[in-house]
Amino acid sequence: MNDAKPIWIRDPLAILADGAERGIVVKGGQIIELVPAGAAPATADVAVFDAGDHVVLPGLINTHHHFYQTLTRALPAAMDRELFPWLQALYPVWAKLTPDALDLGVTVAMSELLLSGCTTTTDHHYVFPAGLEDAVDIEVAVARRLGVRVLLTRGSMNLSQRDGGLPPDSVVQDEDTILADSARVVGKHHQRGADAMVQIALAPCSPFSVSTSLMRATADLADKLDVRLHTHLAETEDENRFCQEMFGCRPLDYLEQCGWLNARTWLAHGIFFNADEMKRLGKAKTTISHCACSNQLLASGCCPVCEMEEAGVGIGIGVDGSASNDGSNLMQEVRAAFLLQRARYGVTKVSHKDALRWATKGSAACVGRPELGEIAVGKAADLALFRLDELRFSGHGDPLAALVLCGAHRADRVMVAGKWAVIDGAIPGLDVADVIQRHSSAARAMQAG
Ligand SMILES: [Zn+2]
């Protein structure tokens, strides 16, 4: 790629960057020049991509997901339930996950994300039934195939129903197995540096599904291996009650006792923190993945993003698992976050630009990648380009606002590390009809009986 000609993405209809009215020049996976109004690139010998019909955004970054859940969307047995009973209905189905089904589930989730303008995604995989020990390796292979940048988390659960937890015995592992495999996947897959395409983080599922010993040992291991930490926290009132009964304190106190309250950690949801807890999170530089669709679908509540930001807590956006959304469309998630937060805070405190900022720069902070999420010289050439020629955009004024307000849902072009991963609204080489057929069949097999 370094030998390829620089590309001038010329004269965009609109672009989420200042001083780039005539576009940007990318080379070797990086943005090397912004071209202001009335100027031409200083870079010589550029190939030109005419962006006259495109709104150009930094590639969107998804900070929370469970890819395998694409296999259990809109499942009647789990519908219309809150988090704990929802989990209890789904665990026995997820226990039937196989390597082939996971490969398909990941392919579907990552493809949906890419086509919605996402260039970097996390995944939180925490179910490990017998035979699925290589789950993270399977995910890495799919990410490489599709050309999406990933931060995959090695999830874990070691408290089953036998120990007072929610999951059945068949999907949990013991602490030694979890820690050994965590070290293995980091050693095998984790890349360092600004051009990393695959990174690994460690991610016990939640305080109610892992032991205190595993929470602490995971934080120690993440420190030793210098990787990030992730878990669900403060998602429901049930969780507050569970922590109070089990540990005699609130979820954030417990997290702190386990050595997790630091800049290495980003947390999914963060709905039920009080003002003091938000201050502590801000001081510790722990960040939050806001999952607006999931929080609405499971009626969990609403993350107080404005109070969080005022307390110095960074906010990113996550679609969450496809069984609690039930889609993986990150651009739609931006709109959902915008609408939910505007309803909470009013028209003057939340704009479409805030929602886009959460899904780009904010999400980049969650995944610990300051070189992502922004169109500026030296940042990664990760871009999402949208056309506005659908009926839904007809008659628009401001093109950037139209993306959020008119409900953009499909990118026309997506560039990851300087390479086109989506062209003309499609992923080159991906037979979508074939994937849907095989994925549906795997889903039916899991859901049967
Ligand atoms: Zn989740």
Question: How remote is the CA of residue 1 from the centroid of ligand 1, in Å?
Answer: 35
- The Cα–Cα gap between 7 and 166 comes to 52
- The Cα–Cα gap between 410 and 392 comes to 12
H or E segment at 337? helix 330-345
Question: How remote is the CA of residue 175 from the centroid of ligand 1, in Å?
Answer: 21
**Position 1 pLDDT exceeds 50:** no
- The Cα–Cα gap between 351 and 433 comes to 37
The DSSP output letter for 355 is H
**Residues paired with residue 419 on neighbouring β-strands, in sequence order:** 416
Question: How remote is the CA of residue 243 from the centroid of ligand 1, in Å?
Answer: 18
Question: How remote is the CA of residue 326 from the centroid of ligand 1, in Å?
Answer: 12
Query: 60-366 is classed in which CATH architecture?
Result: Alpha-Beta Barrel (3.20)
8 A C-beta contact, residue 252 and residue 273: yes
Question: How remote is the CA of residue 133 from the centroid of ligand 1, in Å?
Answer: 20
H or E segment at 36? none
**Position 2 pLDDT exceeds 60:** no
Question: How remote is the CA of residue 318 from the centroid of ligand 1, in Å?
Answer: 9
Considering the chain, what percentage of its residues have pLDDT values greater than 70?
A: 99
**Residues paired with residue 268 on neighbouring β-strands, in sequence order:** 232, 289
Token pair of 47, please? 């190939």
Question: How remote is the CA of residue 231 from the centroid of ligand 1, in Å?
Answer: 8
Question: How remote is the CA of residue 197 from the centroid of ligand 1, in Å?
Answer: 23
Question: How remote is the CA of residue 308 from the centroid of ligand 1, in Å?
Answer: 20
Question: How remote is the CA of residue 221 from the centroid of ligand 1, in Å?
Answer: 22
Structural domain boundaries in the chain:
7-58+379-422, 60-366
Question: How remote is the CA of residue 239 from the centroid of ligand 1, in Å?
Answer: 14
Question: How remote is the CA of residue 319 from the centroid of ligand 1, in Å?
Answer: 9
Question: How remote is the CA of residue 141 from the centroid of ligand 1, in Å?
Answer: 22
According to DSSP, the β-strands at 23-27 and 118-125 are unpaired
Question: How remote is the CA of residue 310 from the centroid of ligand 1, in Å?
Answer: 25
Question: How remote is the CA of residue 87 from the centroid of ligand 1, in Å?
Answer: 11
- The Cα–Cα gap between 416 and 148 comes to 7
CA distances from 117 to 121, 255, 384 (A): 11, 33, 5
Note the pLDDT tens digit of each residue in 402-423: 999 999 999 999 999 999 999 9
Question: How remote is the CA of residue 324 from the centroid of ligand 1, in Å?
Answer: 8
Mean pLDDT of 394-399: 98
Q: Which CATH superfamily is domain 7-58+379-422 in?
A: Urease, subunit C, domain 1 (2.30.40.10)
Question: How remote is the CA of residue 404 from the centroid of ligand 1, in Å?
Answer: 24
Question: How remote is the CA of residue 13 from the centroid of ligand 1, in Å?
Answer: 36
- Helices of type H across 77-134: 83-94, 99-115
**Position 141 pLDDT exceeds 60:** yes
115 C-beta neighbours (distance < 10 Å), count: 24
**Position 208 pLDDT exceeds 90:** no
Mean pLDDT of 381-410: 98
Residue 232, helix vs strand vs coil: strand
Band (322; pLDDT cuts 50, 70, 90): confident
Task: Mean pLDDT check: name the lowest of 14-18, 224-228, 321-325, 334-338.
Answer: 321-325
Task: Mean pLDDT check: name the lowest of 237-241, 293-297, 385-389.
Answer: 237-241
8 A C-beta contact, residue 205 and residue 232: yes
Question: How remote is the CA of residue 321 from the centroid of ligand 1, in Å?
Answer: 6
**Is pLDDT larger for residue 13 or for residue 163?**
13
**Position 148 pLDDT exceeds 90:** yes
Question: How remote is the CA of residue 269 from the centroid of ligand 1, in Å?
Answer: 8
Q: What is the DSSP string of 130-172?
A: TT-TTHHHHHHHHHHHHT-EEEEEEEE----GGGT-SS-GGG-
What residues have CB less than 8 Å from 105, skipping those under 6 apart? 67, 68, 69, 70, 71, 97, 439, 442
Note the pLDDT tens digit of each residue in 149-205: 999 999 999 999 888 888 899 999 999 999 999 999 999 999 999 999 999 999 999
Note the pLDDT tens digit of each residue in 266-280: 999 999 999 999 999
Question: How remote is the CA of residue 266 from the centroid of ligand 1, in Å?
Answer: 12
Question: How remote is the CA of residue 215 from the centroid of ligand 1, in Å?
Answer: 17
- The Cα–Cα gap between 16 and 428 comes to 26
8 A C-beta contact, residue 407 and residue 388: no
Question: How remote is the CA of residue 91 from the centroid of ligand 1, in Å?
Answer: 13
Going edge to edge, which strands form the sheet with 149-156? Answer: 60-62, 118-125, 149-156, 198-204, 229-233, 265-269, 287-290, 315-317
Kindly calculate the radius of gyration of the chain based on its CA atoms and give it in whole angstroms. Answer: 21
Band (3; pLDDT cuts 50, 70, 90): low
Note the pLDDT tens digit of each residue in 20-34: 999 999 999 999 999
Mean pLDDT of 370-383: 98
- The Cα–Cα gap between 74 and 70 comes to 9
Mean pLDDT of 55-59: 98
Q: 329, exposed or middle or buried, with CB in 10 Å at 0-12, 13-18, 19+?
A: buried
- Say if pTM beats, i.e. exceeds, 0.85: yes
Question: How remote is the CA of residue 268 from the centroid of ligand 1, in Å?
Answer: 7
